[in-house]
Every structure is written in C-alpha cells, then in structure tokens.
C-alpha cells in the first residue's frame, strides 16, 4: 500500500499542493479501513464494563435446601457436560452445549437445573444468566424481552431503541462472543421461544426446562422422571424434620404412592407434617386416601410451587379442546391402563386418530405409555393425580350423559374383543350360542381317522378348540395362543372394566364381558381368584337382567371355578339349578352340559355311584344333539370315574372311543388330554399285573404309560399350556413303577412348582398327596407323612371331604406298610367316618380292609 501511494504522488507531482494533501489523507484513511477489515477478530470479544463497581452477572436462583433423590440425573448431566462442553480454544466452530430437561409439572426440573448450575458455576467466569420464560401461562415471556434483560445484565448500554428481534439477536451474538456464560431458561413453552436466546459461542452452556420435549437442534434432551418410592420417603423424612417417618415407614410409603411419587406433592406433605407436629403419618395418609379431597390436601396456596392442582391446571389449559376432552373421558375409566383403541372409542373416532391424541397428552406430560403388552399392543395410562384432577371437570360436564356413553362404547369394545378371543380359545364353550344372542360357533371336523394311540402326537391344534383339516391346525393353534396372551395382557383391565360395568348397572355388558373372561380362565385353568370373583358378578348381572338362560350359563361358570377350588357343595347346587333352568327352557344342549357338571361335581366329591348316572345321561344327550366333542369329553370323564372304581379295562374302552373322535377331528389338544388319562389307566393296569406277579407284562405297560405321559407333558409345555403340563407330570409321578421311583418324585415336584405359580390351590393339594405317595414308595416314611399331612390340611381348608378322606387313607396305609399299625388306626378311622358321611361305598370298603389289617 505504501509503494502504491508513493507511485501515485510521483504521478501527480505537478498538481497543486492542496490537491496533494487531499490525496494523501484519503490514502491513509483507505489503508486504515483495509487493515481493520482484514484483521482476524474472531476471538476478540467486545470488552465488558470493567472497574471496581462492576462484576459479572449472577442471576442464578438459590439451590433448594432439601434437594435429594437426583444422584442419577446429576451423574447424567455431569457426563454430558464432560463429554460435550469444550473450552473455547478447543471448540473451533462448534455450537454451544444446550441441555433440555423436560418432565411433568412439579417433578423438580427447575431444582435440578439450579443444583447442577451451582455445581459448575466456577467454569463460567463471565456470569450466569437466568430467566423464567413463563411458558406454562397464557402470556409467555417474549424472546426480545429476555434478550434486553440479558444484554443489560452484561452491561451493554442500551441508551437508544435497540430495534426489533433481529437487531437484538445480532447484539446478543456480538456480546456473547468469546465469553463463557451459563444461561438458564426455565419453563420454556416451545423451541421457538428459546431459539433466538441460544448464543453461537461454544464457551457458553444453555440449560432449558420444559414440560414437554422441545426438539431443539444439537440439544441434549433428558426426561426427568418422578421419584422412586425410596427417594420420596427420603424427601418426606427430611421435610418432616422428626422421627415420624422412621416410626411408620408403611404409612410413609403409602403417602408417597398417593402423591404419585411427584416431588412437588411430597414436598407439600412434608411441609404439612413439619407445621403440624401433632399429626401422625397415618392421619395424613387417611386424609389423602379420599380421592375427592386429595388435591385439596396437596395445596398450600394457588401458586405453582405450592399447589399440585394449579400445576396441573397449566398443563390442562395448554391442551387443545379435543385433548382436554380425551383426558376427561380417560379419567372416567377405572382401568389401570388401556390400549390405544380405547381412545378412539372415547372420542367416537378412529383408533389412529385416538392414538394421535393420546401421544399429544404424553408430550404434555399428562399421560404416559406403560409399554407394549404380551399381545403386542402399546398401552397408556394417566398419572394418578392427573386422573383425579381430570375427574373434576369430567364429573361437572357429564350432565348430558356423554361421559357415560363414552364409557359404554369402551365396555362394548372390550366385550366384542373378549368374546372373539374366548371363542378362538375354546369354541366348544360357545357352540350353542354362549352369548345371550349372536352367532353360533360350530366345530369343524376332519376326515382322517388318524394314527394309533402311541403315534398320536402330531402337529398341535386347538383345545379346548377343535381344528379342521391339517392346513387349519397351525392357524387355529396360533389363534389360541394369541387369545391366552391377550388375557394375560388385559386381565387387570378386564377386571376393572367388569367392576365398572357393575357399578354403572350396565348389566348386559357386565354379563357378556364377565362371561368371556370366565371362559378364557376356564380354558387356561388360570387366575382362579379373579375367575371366581368375576363369576359372582356374572351371576349377579344375570339375575338383575331377569334372563333365566343367562343365569343358567352363569351358574355353570361359577360351578366350574368353585368346584375346581374344592367347593363341591356350592358347585353342585349351582349345577343343579342350571340343569333345572335349562330343562324348563327346553335347551337340551345346555341341559346336557349342566348334567355333566352335576356328575363331575358328585364325582369329585366322592359320590361316585350318583355321579356315573349323570355322566352316562350327559353322553347320551350330547350324542342326541350331534355334539361329538362334548360326548367324547364326557366319556373321558366317565373313564376317570371307572378308574376310581378300579375298573381300568372299562375305562380303557371309553378312552379309545373318545380318541377316535379327537383323532378324526385332528384335535391334538383334546387327544393329548385323553392320552393323559389313558396313561393313568395303563399305569393302573400295570400295578394290577405287578400285584399278580406278571412282571414282564407290568413292565411293558409301565413303559407305555411313561412314554405317553412324558410326550403329552412335552406337547403341552411347547404350547405353553402349563396347567395341562402339570397334570401330565403329576400323573407320571403317580404311576407307581418300582424301577422309576426317583424320577416319579421329580415329576411330582415339577408339577407342584407349576401349579403353585398358577395359583391352583386345589392342584397344589393334589401334588402334596402325590408327593407323599411317591416318598412312601421309596420307603421314606417321615417325608411321606409330612407331605400327606400337608395334603390333609390343604383339602380340609378347601372343604374337600372326599380328597381329605383319600389323603387320610393313604396316610394310614403308609404307616401300615411301614409296620406301624398303631399310628395307622387314627387316620383310617377319620377317613372311614368321612366316607360314611359321603355315602362312598368303595372308599368305605377299601378303608375297612386297611383297618382290619391295622387291628390284627
């Protein structure tokens, strides 16, 4: 530049002196401008005010005194800060670190932000700025208002109008360049509100809190959950400031649960305890237990930090009209969680539209996804305090019945789905319209006779469903498995829906939904206590409806579960009432089912002579009705009775006839059930052969029985049919093969584990009996006595007299075989008394023979 200037002066030396001076001054100015323009000013910050009167701004709020329970969240933030925040000299053109913490109102987002900001304060020598953006109110703070406040805090002289948002943004970028400033933006409404507040300087860090995700570019988003129960109890204890929490930990946990584990709610409770020293934790828990008053108890003043209701109101007001309506309708349901289609029913729209609105409520932190269930459906739930809050406007706005109509749509949707699953699982239970009205599900029958007894384990099919041809086997089995998965996923929700239908006096829905639930439980032999409770509701609903046919079906459902749990007398009364009702209604198919139920109840109660008459009559009635499946099933039941009468050859003939039906129908499930009984019959024949000294023939029969029972157990195991697997294992453990005693004991124990897990108390008692007999065969008298006494107590608790008598008889026989005649007498006398009461002649005869031996 200097050489150019010199050359220029040589060229113009003939000009007047004044012109030369002007040219020289212009050239000097040009050199200055070019030098300034080409200088590297990227890392040269504007100078902040200096002097003893000025210090870097520190607007950071104070840390909450009782901050606790966020060790994991703090560790997460420390790790993010360590990995993603770089000093200026290493950052290059990297953007600043932006941390977005979102979560429910009152979950402690601001407390976490201030706590972490206090921890890293020393890393920001140029100050800490903070602004409450008030994004949860009707008039959020505008970004330009925040920028003006931040610039003034940094000492920027705004003596004139700084201009609009664009000019303020430029000033903000200019005055933050080269600085290390921590910026806290609390209660943001959305990403647009804070986008202009993020500096471009890598040395800065921005922390944002919001009630929903902001989806900011280059930001680290983390959701802050509610406390664990333990964390909530710790906070409550710190705030209460005495030993009341430690003295009553159960009440403390109850308080935390009723606070939905929300830190704000727990803090309010802790504050109440601190100011009311005369209150016990139980008293506060009792106050919170009334849902109508719970939000009143969780409010100190109508401020966000002192009222759960006020905090929820802000989130509610921020929703659209349809989202508020969905929230109100969801609050009317008593179910713990629901699948997405429920939202569509509540809004009377499509499932997809309903799910979209549910997802919006999740973004607003008013609902949450509780995961994907066993059937593959995503489930949703309301937070407890949100549900209580939403019920307040829902109750007030349901004067026109819209809420009741919405609930009815959901209940109807559940009824349709439950009936479809129940019919897929066990169509024979619905063969003569197990609904009050509707389609009948007929059985499909194949053509082939199928393989022999020992070759009967082919591809899986359904049952209690009957399959069609070979091509139909797998789809039907898959539908059955899906039905079981659906019940496992929906069980608690179904129970809540049935209870709600009852409380709303929607008796038809309560009956239909409950009837499908009972059918599913019956087919799976699972959830016994729930099954029994629902069966009671189904009976009540049928009586309220005044429908004798519905009542007859309900009585059979109740007889099935009460009889299965040892309540023979009640089961028998229900079955007999159903038989009378169906006979009067001229419903021969249902009358045959009731006849079979009466016979099975009598059989299981030890009244074998009367039982066989009902079972024989039911078989004839089913054949008259052309229902081969129920006829074959009842023949299997009669075969079990014949086995109890020690008439195994007759039992064998009945079973072989039934097997022909199930093989023809390609119903592998029912076939396997029948083969289980066939294996038990072969075992009884083997024991008789062994007693007669025909060792080789006995060994052959034991081998066939063991093969059949083990294969049947494996088949049920592969299908996930645990109850049926356990029955096969128990039967295999009771064969009495002297060469296989230890294996039989192991089979029994495995059966006990399965039945215990299923909650089948009667089945567990049967296992105790089988285990006692297995120990006795091994000569383990002490272990046998212990197991048999457990069986006696269990059957007595269940009120099952016949099996109590059998357990006592086997106990006496065990002592007798061990040579202890004196100890054998008492259990045998007790067994004889029970058999006499029952009128069980065969039991009396066997016990009398044992008593004679004991008294010799």
String of DSSP letters for 159-172: -S---SHHHHHHHH
Count CB atoms within 10 A of the CB of residue 168: 21
Residue 529's alpha-carbon distances to 118, 458, 601, 719, 724, in angstroms, are 54, 34, 19, 24, 19
* pLDDT at 445 > cutoff 50: no
With cut-offs at 50, 70 and 90, classify the pLDDT of residue 721. Answer: confident
The single residue listed with the structure tokens 């009586």 is 543
Sheet strands side by side (includes 182-188)? 128-132, 182-188, 205-210, 97-102, 219-223
What region does 553 belong to: left with phi over 0, alpha with psi -120 to 50, or beta?
Answer: alpha
What is the reported pLDDT for 465?
Answer: 37
Percentage of the chain beyond pLDDT 70 is 86
pLDDT at 455: 44
The pLDDT tens digits for 129-147 are: 999 998 766 678 899 999 9
DSSP 627-663: -HHHHHHHHHHHHHHHHHTT-HHHHHHHHHHHHHHHH
Whether 100 shows a pLDDT value over 90: the answer reads: yes
What confidence tier does 838 reach under pLDDT thresholds 50, 70, 90? confident
Phi and psi at residue 236, in whole multiples of 5°? -60, -40
pTM for the whole thing? 0.78
Comparing CA positions, the residue from 432, 401, 438, 394 lying closest to residue 416 is 438
Is residue 250 predicted with pLDDT exceeding 80? yes
pLDDT by residue (tens digit) across 516-536? 999 999 998 889 899 999 999
Q: Mind listing the pLDDT tens digit for each residue in 768-810? A: 999 999 999 999 999 999 999 999 999 999 888 889 999 999 9
d(CA 731, CA 714): 13
pLDDT grade, residue 155 (50/70/90)?
confident
Asked whether the predicted pLDDT for residue 369 surpasses 70, the reply is yes
Q: Distance (Å, rounded) from C-alpha 45 to C-alpha 174?
A: 8
- Beta strand 97-102 with 219-223 is parallel
The better pLDDT of the pair 456, 627 is held by: 627
pLDDT value for 8: 47
Average pLDDT on 297-322 reads 84
Predicted pLDDT of residue 70: 92
Q: What is the mean pLDDT of residues 278-284?
A: 92
Any residues with CB less than 8 A from the CB of 515 and at least 6 apart, and which?
434, 435, 538, 553, 554, 557
Mean of pLDDT values over 237-251: 90
Which residues are registered as beta bridge partners of 98?
Answer: 206, 219
Whether the predicted pLDDT of 238 surpasses 70: yes
Please report the pLDDT score of residue 40 as a whole number: 44
- Residue 377 clears pLDDT 50, i.e. is over it: yes
Question: Of 815, 803, 798, which Cα lies nearest the Cα of 855?
Answer: 815
Rounded to whole angstroms, the Cα distance separating 750 from 601 reads 27
Identify the sign of the CA torsion 683, 597, 499, 400: positive
| Dist. CA 103–CA 732, nearest whole Å | 56
Residue with tokens 């066990």: 426
Higher pLDDT, 585 or 444: 585
- 371-400 average pLDDT score: 83
Rounded-to-integer distance, Cα 793 and Cα 813, Å: 18
**Least confident range of 20-29, 207-216, 699-708:** 20-29
Q: Which of 75-89, 112-126, 248-262 has the lowest mean pLDDT?
A: 75-89
Reduced to 3 states, what is the DSSP secondary structure of residue 525?
coil
User: In residues, how long is the chain?
Assistant: 856
The 3-class SS string of 269-320 reads HHHHHHHCCCCCHHHHHHHHHCHHHHHHHCECCCCHHHEHHHHHHHHHHCCC
User: Would you call the peptide bond into 508 cis, given omega within 30 degrees of 0 as the criterion?
Assistant: no
The pLDDT value given to residue 399: 57
The rounded distance, in Å, linking the Cα atoms of 589 and 625 is 6
Residue-wise pLDDT for 678-695, tens only, equals 999 999 999 999 999 999
- Going 461 to 465 to 466 to 469, the CA torsion angle's sign is negative
Please tell me the predicted confidence (pLDDT) of residue 447. 29
Between 322 and 311, the more confident residue is: 322
**What's the pLDDT at 315?**
86
């Amino acid at each position: 530049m200097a050489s150019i200037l010199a050359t220029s002066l040589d060229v113009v030396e003939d000009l007047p002196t004044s012109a030369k001076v002007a040219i020289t001054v212009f050239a000097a100015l040009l050199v200055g401008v070019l030098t300034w323009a080409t200088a590297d000013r990227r890392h040269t910050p504007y100078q902040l005010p200096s002097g003893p009167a000025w210090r870097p701004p520190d607007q950071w709020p104070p840390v909450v005194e009782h901050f606790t329970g966020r060790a994991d969240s703090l560790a997460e933030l420390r790790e993010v800060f360590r990995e993603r925040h770089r000093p200026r000299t290493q950052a290059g053109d990297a953007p600043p670190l932006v941390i977005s913490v979102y979560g429910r109102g009152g979950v402690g987002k601001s407390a976490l932000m201030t706590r972490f900001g206090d921890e890293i304060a020393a890393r920001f020598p140029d100050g800490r700025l903070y602004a409450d953006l008030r994004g949860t109110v009707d008039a959020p703070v505008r970004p330009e208002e925040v920028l003006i406040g931040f610039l003034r805090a940094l000492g920027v002289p705004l003596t004139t109008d700084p201009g609009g948002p664009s000019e303020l943004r430029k000033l903000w970028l200019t005055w933050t360049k080269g600085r290390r400033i921590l910026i806290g933006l609390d209660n943001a409404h959305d990403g647009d509100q804070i986008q202009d507040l993020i500096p471009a300087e890598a040395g800065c860090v921005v922390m944002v809190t919001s009630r929903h995700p902001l989806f900011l570019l280059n930001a680290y988003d983390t959701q802050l959950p509610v406390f664990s129960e333990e964390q909530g109890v710790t906070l409550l204890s710190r705030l209460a400031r005495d030993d009341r929490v430690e003295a009553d930990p159960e009440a403390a946990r109850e308080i935390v649960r009723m606070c939905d584990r929300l830190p704000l709610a727990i803090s309010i409770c802790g504050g109440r305890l601190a100011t009311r020293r005369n209150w016990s934790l139980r008293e506060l828990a009792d106050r919170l237990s009334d849902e109508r008053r719970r939000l009143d108890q969780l409010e100190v003043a109508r401020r966000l930090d002192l009222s759960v209701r006020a905090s929820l109101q802000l989130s509610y007001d921020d929703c659209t009209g349809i989202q508020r309506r969905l929230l109100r309708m969801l609050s009317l349901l008593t179910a713990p969680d629901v699948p997405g289609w429920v939202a569509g029913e509540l809004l009377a729209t499509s499932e997809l539209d309903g799910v979209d609105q549910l997802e919006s409520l999740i973004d607003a932190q008013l609902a949450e996804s509780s995961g994907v269930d066993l059937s593959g459906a995503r489930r949703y739930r309301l937070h407890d305090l949100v549900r209580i809050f939403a019920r307040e406007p829902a109750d007030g706005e349901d004067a026109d019945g819209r809420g009741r109509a919405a609930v009815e749509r959901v209940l109807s949707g559940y009824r349709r789905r439950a009936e479809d699953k129940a019919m897929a699982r066990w169509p024979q239970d619905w063969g003569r319209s197990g609904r009050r009205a509707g389609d009948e599900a007929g059985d499909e029958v194949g053509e082939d006779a199928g393989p022999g007894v020992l070759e009967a384990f082919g591809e899986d099919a359904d049952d209690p469903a009957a399959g069609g041809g070979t091509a139909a086997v797998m789809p039907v089995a898959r539908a059955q498995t899906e039905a079981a998965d659906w019940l496992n996923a929906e069980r608690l929700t179904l129970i809540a829906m049935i209870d709600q239908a009852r409380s709303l006096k929607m008796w038809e829905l309560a009956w239909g939904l409950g009837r499908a639930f009972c059918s599913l439980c019956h087919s799976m032999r699972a959830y016994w206590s729930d099954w029994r409770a629902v069966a009671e509701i189904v009976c009540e609903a049928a009586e309220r409806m005044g429908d004798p046919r519905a009542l007859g079906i309900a009585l059979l459902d109740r007889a099935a579960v009460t009889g299965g749990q040892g309540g023979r007398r009640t089961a028998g009364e229900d079955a007999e009432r159903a038989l009378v009702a169906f006979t009067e209604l001229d419903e021969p198919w249902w009358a045959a089912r009731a006849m079979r139920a009466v016979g099975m109840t009598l059989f299981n109660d030890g009244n074998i002579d009367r039982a066989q008459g009902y079972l024989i009559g039911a078989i004839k009635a089913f054949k008259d009705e052309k229902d081969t499946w129920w006829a074959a099933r009842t023949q299997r039941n009669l075969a079990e009775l014949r086995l109890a009468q020690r008439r195994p050859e007759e039992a064998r003939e009945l079973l072989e006839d039934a097997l022909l039906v199930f093989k023809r129908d390609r119903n592998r499930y029912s076939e396997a059930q029948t083969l289980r009984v066939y294996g038990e019959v072969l075992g009884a024949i083997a024991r008789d052969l062994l007693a007669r000294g025909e060792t080789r023939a006995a060994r052959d029969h034991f081998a066939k029985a063991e093969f059949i029972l083990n294969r049947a157990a494996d088949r049920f195991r592969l299908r996930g049919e645990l109850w049926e697997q356990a029955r096969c294992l128990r039967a295999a453990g009771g064969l009495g093969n002297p060469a296989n005693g230890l294996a039989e004991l192991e089979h029994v124990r495995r059966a006990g584990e399965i039945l215990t897990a299923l909650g089948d108390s009667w089945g567990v008692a049967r296992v105790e009996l089988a285990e006692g007999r297995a120990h006795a065969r091994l000569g383990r008298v002490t272990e046998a006595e212990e197991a048999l006494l457990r069986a006696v107590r269990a059957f007595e608790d269940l009120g099952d007299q016949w099996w109590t008598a059998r357990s006592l008889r086997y106990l006496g026989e065990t002592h007798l075989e061990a040579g202890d005649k004196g100890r054998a007498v008492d259990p045998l006398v007790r067994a004889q008394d029970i058999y006499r009461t029952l009128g069980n002649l065969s039991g009396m005869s066997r016990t009398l023979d044992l008593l004679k031996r004991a008294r010799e």
